[in-house]
Homo-oligomer: A and B are copies of this chain.
């Protein structure tokens, strides 16, 4: 039997045991798992060193090597992350709805685990532990499919987690690493409906599209954010500039950073906005009028409006009004996070009503689209699709429900 099928079978068995554990049993297991990761720090760092050496030999970029790198502090953060998951409220067992039918049937819907989750992700080894601890906390078994470049690190982390769990109420088999990282085996994993209840891809657009295009297992799509800020005519100078700078620069490489600012043509502070962004090192790409007026603004091509730069580059366009802003976002946006800066209540209403996205902001930065910032405590990803969960996904997003119907002999007439 292949590694994939063998591990998938074990996960399914383990998920049944896991689903009926109490929150105390799960929390005790996670605490012990965190302790054991801390205790095995040296060995994990050694294994990570092997990945880094391989990466350097293969000419991996500094940025990628940094994503792959574990340090003593980063392992401390990983351990701390598991402890934070322990502190979260257990979503399992919650009664979602309860009602009685005229025939006396009493119906309850109750929150239960999804079952087995397939995580597909790229080089950051911290995802291995973050995802595992969230899945376990919500009563799910997890198949981890990381990238080849992090294989030594992932094997070490999973070995430590499994060994720790083996001494707890959570079966060690509830966490499995797919060590065969071939493309063929990935494709097979994406179609393993018999064993996997959901796939969660986390990584770049290429990874996510590969999962969406090839999967028959339901996918919780995360990721791509071509986010906008619309600065309305009535926007205050300081607030608009502060928010635009924050949303672009506080962390340009993430999906909730903005890529385009749309500015009402009569807003009086365009020069101040552009100067401020330019002075902070942002490369600006504007429409014809802006490029003709400001020497440091390059002219934007059509492609710029759809580009997720993930870098200190920003497209800027003057628009007639909120309606043109909504149309632009509708055409080029990715339904992630969109903001309006305005003191005009009617325009805010039109924006909230007219823009189709996971999260809409009035007078705040798009950077708040995040599980922790939303108060979910931790996140398994940010959903950019409309089914099941939309926007930041906390523990509840990796649960489902079952209906429990109590009768006293009812039959259907």
Contacts and interface: CB of A to CB of B under 8 A. Distances in A.
B403 A242 contact: no
B193 A360 contact: no
A378 to B, nearest CB: 16
A207 interface: no
A60 B252 CA distance: 62
Best-surrounded residue of A16, A101, A405 (most CB of chain B within 10 A) = A405
B400 A364 contact: no
A280 interface: no
Nearest to A338: B402
B246 A412 contact: yes
Nearest to A193: B212
Contact of A365 (B353, B374, B386, B412): B412
A153 to B, nearest CB: 29
A373 B198 contact: no
B407 A361 contact: yes
Nearest to A367: B412
A384 B386 CA distance: 18
A375 interface: yes
A371 to B, nearest CB: 12
Contacts of A216: 212-213
A407 B364 contact: yes
Interface stretch (A129-137, A161-169, A181-189, A387-395): A387-395
Contacts of A221: 218
A410 interface: yes
Interface string A232-256: 0000100100110011001000000
Interface string A89-105: 00000000001010001
Contact of A20 (B353, B403, B409): B353
A352 interface: yes
Main secondary structure of the interface of A (DSSP, over half): mixed
A77 interface: no
A250 B413 CA distance: 8
Interface residues of A, number: 65
Given A356-B115, A405-B368, A410-B365, A198 B99 contact: no
B99 A363 contact: no
A218 B387 contact: yes
A105 to B, nearest CB: 6
Contacts of A362: 404-407
Contacts of A353: 20
A404 B360 contact: yes
B411 A243 contact: yes
A30 interface: no
Interface string A183-217: 00000000001000110000000000000110010
A360 B390 contact: no
A364 B198 contact: no
A408 interface: yes
20 contacts: A16-B354, A101-B375, A115-B356, A198-B387, A212-B216, A218-B386, A218-B387, A242-B409, A242-B411, A243-B411, A358-B403, A362-B404, A362-B406, A363-B406, A364-B406, A364-B409, A368-B405, A373-B412, A387-B387, A387-B388
Given A114-B387, A361-B407, A386-B400, 10 more contacts: A20-B354, A101-B375, A105-B364, A115-B356, A212-B216, A247-B411, A364-B405, A367-B412, A388-B388, A390-B402
